[in-house]
Amino acid sequence: MHSVAQALEIVLANVHPLPPTPTPLGPETLGQVLAEDVVSDLDMPPFDKAMMDGFALRSTDLRDGHAELTIIEEIPSGKTPTKTVGAQQTSRIMTGAPIPDGADAVVMIERCEIAGNTVRVNEPRIKPRLNILDRAKEMRVGETVLHAGTRLRPQELGLLAAVGQTTPKLRPAPRVAVLSTGDEIVASNVKPGPGQIRNSNGMMLLGQVQRAGGVPTFLGIARDDAAHLRSKIEEGLKFDVLILSGGVSAGKLDLVPGVLAELGVEALFHKVAMKPGKPVLFGVRPSHPRPHSPDGERGGMAVFGLPGNPVSSLVCFELFVRPAIRKLMALEPGPQWIKATLTKDFPYRTDRPTYHPARLTMSDAGWTVEPTPWFGSPDLRGILAANAFVLLPEGDHQHRAGDVLMVLCVEKD
């Protein structure tokens, strides 16, 4: 049986960033990764630019900060100046407008007194280039302004817009199919009959996919019937990632591993030493057409068979599926670990490393962690109070308040 670290290593060795795709720039590309360098197609600003509303003038015309100048033109933003500012002359200018020839400074309007077509200026701090932003101060035409591998934040979106890159090449968000399995599982809009339970994993996993940056699709509930399961899995194999929940352990009706094998999915692990969890399957289908590429480019796809109990599913997703989704997007895969100080004594005995729901808090003393009440892998409600999982090593341990433990963060970016 693999450790969590070994299993994660296998996952990451077998998924690779998706091929770069020209993508329309928009808020939905936030968090995606640039696949190529971006070069500016212009100088920014494209001209020497006024930083203030006021008067463009020759700084040498001021004596001890004073001058009386003749107004020769008004330059609103968006207009090109037509007159050269000569000695004892000035042009009224708005913020963002181009500086007229001849002028080398702008005096803000608050330091000017207008009388007809003359203006009295009082600016003791006058100096050349005052209130002027030089052409190309921010970027020069031909300059590389963003590098491949950059993750798009709002400021990167703004810069791409500024250089006219409306369809940058990005690593696409993986398309991820979610398939629930089990004869006892019914849709959440149905009142469960005897022996039935509502499908909670489906909705939860869709949310986890979305939070991880993937594009989720729900494929429904497959019955514990090889033919039905097979047809549902075939649908799922058209995506970049297929996530199944339930049916992966060793019971008579745990048909997932067999059907996956029949469909050419090679299982690379099937059990991991952890709690909650243990039956968790990861497999790859070596070559299939990419849903993204119109020209039918081929690449491997990943399949995860997660345990049916909701908390096991959730934890296994965060440990193995989220890193895969992030690697497909060329992001740092994680997961994120934080060392935190236990706030109370917590003796705990377990035969496998256990990811126990916990509340992680930043305080003056640094990160602290408090395990939250929980009765085990079916207890989804029990993890509502948690925002992390504290890792409790196998064995019989007297964890004491003040001990430092590793915590799996699931809610930090």
Chain residues that interact with Mg ion, rule: CB under 5 A: 182, 246-247
Residue 180 lies near ligand AMP (rule: CB under 6 A): yes
Residue 208 lies near ligand AMP (rule: CB under 6 A): no
Dist. CA 188–CA 184, nearest whole Å:
12
Could you give the 3-state DSSP secondary structure of residue 296? coil
State which residue, 89 or 377, has the beta carbon closest to ligand AMP: 377
Query: Considering only residues 114, 187, 197, 385, which one is a binding residue for ligand AMP as defined by CB under 6 A?
Result: 197
State which residue, 25 or 380, has the beta carbon closest to ligand AMP: 380
Strand residues in 166-315 grouped as ranges (E): 169-171, 175-181, 185-186, 197-198, 215-222, 241-245, 266-271, 279-289, 298-306
Give one word for 22, left, alpha or beta, with left for phi > 0 and alpha for psi -120 to 50. beta
Binding mask 250-289 for ligand AMP (x = CB under 6 A): -x--------------------------------------
Residue 182 lies near ligand AMP (rule: CB under 6 A): yes
State which residue, 15 or 248, has the beta carbon closest to ligand AMP: 248
Q: Which listed range, 159-167, 198-206, 287-295, 329-337, lies at the site for ligand AMP (CB under 6 A)?
A: 198-206
State which residue, 261 or 384, has the beta carbon closest to Mg ion: 261
Residues 212 to 251 in contact with ligand AMP, rule: CB under 6 A: 245-247, 249, 251
Dist. CA 315–CA 275, nearest whole Å:
9
State which residue, 161 or 197, has the beta carbon closest to ligand AMP: 197
- Which listed option, Mg ion, ligand AMP, none, makes contact with residue 65 (CB within 5 to 8 Å by class)? none
In angstroms, how far apart are the furthest CA atoms of the chain?
A: 96
DSSP secondary structure string for all residues of 135-160: TTSSB-TT-EEE-TTPBP-HHHHHHH
Query: Considering only residues 172, 308, 357, 371, which one is a binding residue for ligand AMP as defined by CB under 6 A?
Result: 308
Q: What angle do CA 16, 18, 21 make, to 5 degrees?
A: 160
CB-nearest residue to Mg ion: 182
Q: b/e map of 399-412 (b: 16 or more CB within 10 Å)?
A: beeeeebbbbbbee
Query: What are 279's two structure tokens?
Result: 């039956």
Q: Which listed range, 50-58, 192-200, 288-296, 394-402, lies at the site for ligand AMP (CB under 6 A)?
A: 192-200
Dist. CA 282–CA 109, nearest whole Å:
68
Dist. CA 16–CA 287, nearest whole Å:
13
Q: Which listed range, 25-33, 146-154, 177-185, 333-341, lies at the site for ligand AMP (CB under 6 A)?
A: 177-185
Alpha carbon of residue 410 to chain centroid = 13
Task: List interacting residues with ligand AMP (CB under 6 A).
Answer: 180, 182, 184-185, 197, 199-202, 245-247, 249, 251, 307-310
